[in-house]
A and B are shown apart, each in its own frame.
Chain A
Amino acid sequence: KAGVTQTPRYLIKTRGQQVTLSCSPISGHRSVSWYQQTPGQGLQFLFEYFSETQRNKGNFPGRFSGRQFSNSRSEMNVSTLELGDSALYLCASSLSAGSNQPQHFGDGTRLSIL
């Protein structure tokens, strides 16, 4: 069974640009969550999508947005990139939304802002 797939693995952008990251969940998983991981802040929850709807949201500015498609694949978009957005962005999928579901993570997309 294929795991969570994130593309691209690495990305370099400059300040002010925007970026779109992609996540394909494990087959049959309908919930997708996004996290930002940085050395200083650790793992921080961005948002969760289930059935094409954003179900939960962390404390990130509106520059961070996402969406989920009917096949459960999800994209995350960051606009007007800032240096502080440099991080590893992790996607996790689970069977359904809910606090009892273990999440299965992808390898992440490492975003570097110059």
Chain B
Amino acid sequence: AQKVTQAQTEISVVEKEDVTLDCVYETRDTTYYLFWYKQPPSGELVFLIRRNSFDEQNEISGRYSWNFQKSTSSFNFTITASQVVDSAVYFCALSDRVDNFNKFYFGSGTKLNVKP
């Protein structure tokens, strides 16, 4: 079963538009961590944010904001006033500890195209 689902395969927006990337996760663990990573065309995955399961406060960092809702098992990522440099593949990830093993699970990624 897919533990992290990113239903949007590819999104195209025009510069300055706001865009939200969806992420839905599944876990039996009560303590878990959620992450977002950005993979630009150069290939290196860049860490963006980490949230733990006990902290549902939304977070804002510049043009980036994250909405964590345990009730819907979602951890969505919004980019405000998108820029061409935001074009990349964005991955949502879950880390939990089930059956005494820590594991990372990545979603399939959402490719964001920001056009000038």
Contacts and interface: CB of A to CB of B under 8 A. Distances in A.
Contacts of B104: 33, 35, 45, 99, 103
- By secondary structure, the B interface counts as strand
A107 interface: yes
B102 A106 contact: no
Nearest to B46: A105
Contact of B33 (A56, A90, A100): A100
Contacts of A105: 37, 44-47
Contact of A88 (B42, B43, B46): B43
Interface size class of A (residues with CB under 8 A): 20 to 34
B7 to A, nearest CB: 14
Interface string A47-58: 010000001111
B103 A45 contact: yes
Contact of A107 (B35, B43, B97): B43
Given A42-B108, A100-B52, A56 B42 contact: no
A89 to B, nearest CB: 12
Nearest to A88: B43
Contact of A97 (B32, B91, B102): B102
B106 to A, nearest CB: 4
B32 A107 contact: no
Q: Which 8 A-B pairs have the closest CB atoms?
A: A105-B45, A43-B106, A99-B95, A42-B108, A99-B102, A102-B47, A102-B50, A107-B44
B44 A42 contact: no
Interface string A74-114: 00000000000000101010000111111111111000000
Given A33-B104, A42-B108, A43-B106, A99 B45 contact: no
Contacts of B95: 99-101
